[in-house]
Amino acid sequence: MKKIAILFSGAGSNLAYILEHLHQKKVEVVLTISNNPNAKGIKYAKKYNIPCVIIDSKAFALREDFDNALVEEIQKHSIDLSVLAGFMRILTPVFTDNIKSINLHPSLLPKFKGLKAIERTYKSDDEFGGVSVHWVNSELDAGEIIVQKQISKVGLSFDEYLEQIKTIEKIALCEAIEKSLLI
């Protein structure tokens, strides 16, 4: 079974979905990492008895030093794929050149790269929004797209749109994990 690591920064809803739908069925989640010691998602790793390593990004003066700590931890576990699931860090080549990873982004890339993508998509004149899962490379949100899912924004309030994005992102992420590992 392929081994994956999941990196997250917040609530961990995508982590929970992966654990429920793929863990011990199609992949083995052997490691989780959070850069936020207060991330609510830590509870999901504990529930499934999966190691959760906290590498507090605020403890590092340089991005490269933080990324080096990530790389060292991931390489200890013979990981086949690292999954950035709500991991709110811009990674440097120290990470991107050494770790095979995919990232979930809440827009139809290449539109609305970076932060506040959901809000920017919703406010745009585009009829559709959606999510993308892409290979991570050294350019922000620019790696080859693995999976995209779109939804119509027509007639939706922002909260309704956000809810639909949160629903399809979990599905897209699981599909991308399977596709990227060819399982």
Would you name the residues annotated as active-site residues?
A: 105
Residue 58: partners with Cβ closer than 8 Å, 6 or more residues away: none
Rounded to whole angstroms, what are the CA distances from 124 to 84, 120, 130?
26, 6, 13
The helix/strand/coil state of 110 is coil
169: which residues sit within 8 A by CB, 6+ positions away? 14, 104, 106, 131, 149
Lookup: tokens for 124 = 């745009």
For the record, the structure tokens of 158 come out as 């922002």
As a whole number of Å, the CA-based R_g of the chain is 16
What is the rounded distance in angstroms from the CA atom of residue 183 to the CA atom of residue 2? 9
Neighbours of 20 (CB within 10 A): 13
